[in-house]
Amino acid sequence: MTLREFLSDRLDRLLIQGICAAAAALFLWATGTQPGVLVILFLALLPVFVGAQLTGFFRQRTRLQELESILEGLDQKYLFAECLPPSNALYERQLWELTRRAGQAMASAVSDARSAQGEYREYVERWVHEVKTPITAARLICRELDGETRRKLAGELARIEEHVERALFYARAESPERDCVLRRTNLGEIVSRAVDAHRSLLIQSGVRVETDGLDCEVCTDEKWAVFLLGQLLQNAARYRGEEPVIQISARPLGRQIQLTVTDNGMGIPAHELPRVFDRGFTGRNGRSRGGSTGMGLYLCKKLSGFLELGLTITSQEGEGTAVTLTFPAKENLTKL
């Protein structure tokens, strides 16, 4: 708030005061008061008037600054009204009361929504764990079937698992701090877990998997990193070309480590590339093949944000795609 804003806000009051003063001067002059006396009176009253305005201005400004800093310091800004120091001014007190009531309504709506979301998340997690039991049983039963049927069924079961896993991590991504554990982990271990988790898809797709330079340590959550890498492997196997090869290689970049998953698949058209991390985005490849949900890379982006991983993608249509994960140097992890 500037002095100019303050004065223009009070323009009507100032005008009335000016008109009153002029009328009083006119009246005094008409009833025979000496003009010299009027000038003295004016000079005596002006500082009082100006002083009063300035005091009002500075008091309001200090109060506003105080409120501003309280708001700044709050994590949950909607609890502002609860944290205000009470005011002496009647009008402000009334406003405060109104704001407080509005804030309370908001706070209870927020906490209801939170607990509903928490319950839903819990339900999804429990459901995922429960559905894994029949999937496991189905896998075991599958063994007794003969060649072709078994392979097809195993493939479909693997797809169910992929969807179930995504649902689980989608639910978890809502409150990552609950089960994200950052630890020093061997990158090779993460990669071999991810490859193992998708071995049937990779083997059925006839993909050759090559690894290079993975014997190094990163500080991350192993499960989340395995899931993230798994999404990349799924994409590489899904959108494969002739004689598919997936290269998984790591190299240090200063204190960071860059893990790159390169495939020689169908690639992504340049104009679709900026949108592949958008929620629900299925490009031309996804639409032409079917079965794409547009959730995989979206989740990757979201999870990589929590893990403070850099996630970038480059692609040449018809040549292949390379996705790079940059693991941060250990000292720089702050968020979780």
Partner 1 sequence: MPDIMIVEDDPAIREELGLLLVNEGYQVTAVTHFADVSGQVQRAAPDLVLLDLGLPGRDGLALCADIRRTSRTPIIFVTSRDSASDELYALSLGGDDYITKPYNIPVLLARIKAVLRRTGGPAEPDTLEAGGLTLHLARGTASAEGGTAELTRNELKILACLMSHAGQIVSRADLIDALWDSQIYIDDNTLSVNMTRLRTKLEGIGLPGFIKTRRGMGYQL
Name the minimum Å distance from CB 252 to partner 1: 20
Q: Please report the sign of the dihedral spanned by the C-alpha atoms of residue 284, residue 156, residue 225, residue 318.
A: negative
Cβ-based nearer residue to partner 1, 23 or 203: 203
- The encoded tokens of residue 279 equal 């929620």
Cβ-based nearer residue to partner 1, 221 or 263: 221
| Eight-class DSSP state of 268 | -
**Contact of 220 with 326, CB cutoff 8 Å:** no
Based on the shown chain and the rule CB under 8 A, indicate whether residue 88 belongs to the binding site for partner 1: no
Q: Tokens 């949900």 identify what position?
A: 293
Kindly identify the residues of this chain, within the stretch 160-219, that bind partner 1 according to CB under 8 A. 161, 179, 181, 188, 192, 195-197, 199-200, 202-204, 206-211
Name the minimum Å distance from CB 175 to partner 1: 13
- The encoded tokens of residue 271 equal 């104009």
- The encoded tokens of residue 182 equal 């950052």
Kindly identify the residues of this chain, within the stretch 220-239, that bind partner 1 according to CB under 8 A. 221-223
- Binding residue for partner 1, selected from 4, 143, 184, 271, defined by CB under 8 A: 143
Name the minimum Å distance from CB 102 to partner 1: 39
Q: How far is CA 9 from the centre of its chain?
A: 39
d(CA 30, CA 35): 10
Name the minimum Å distance from CB 83 to partner 1: 35
Kindly give, in sequence order, each residue whose CB lies less than 8 Å from that of residue 33, ignoring residues fewer than 6 positions away. Answer: none
Cβ-based nearer residue to partner 1, 244 or 286: 244
- Binding residue for partner 1, selected from 61, 100, 121, 151, defined by CB under 8 A: 151
What is the SS3 string spanning 243-257?
CCEEEEEEEEECCEE
Cβ-based nearer residue to partner 1, 53 or 204: 204
How many chain residues bind partner 1 (CB under 8 A)? 39
**Contact of 225 with 307, CB cutoff 8 Å:** yes
**Contact of 263 with 244, CB cutoff 8 Å:** yes
DSSP assignment of 319-336:
TEEEEEEEEPPGGG----
Q: Tokens 């994409």 identify what position?
A: 235
Cβ-based nearer residue to partner 1, 168 or 322: 168
Show the binding pattern over residues 122-141: x = contacts partner 1 (CB under 8 A), - = does not.
------xxx-xxxxxx-xxx
Q: Which helix (H) or strand (E) holds 130?
A: helix 90-142
Cβ-based nearer residue to partner 1, 221 or 276: 221
Cβ-based nearer residue to partner 1, 248 or 313: 248
Cβ-based nearer residue to partner 1, 238 or 313: 238
Name the minimum Å distance from CB 136 to partner 1: 4
Footprint on this chain of partner 1 (rule: CB under 8 A) = 128-130, 132-137, 139-141, 143-144, 147, 151, 157, 161, 179, 181, 188, 192, 195-197, 199-200, 202-204, 206-211, 221-223
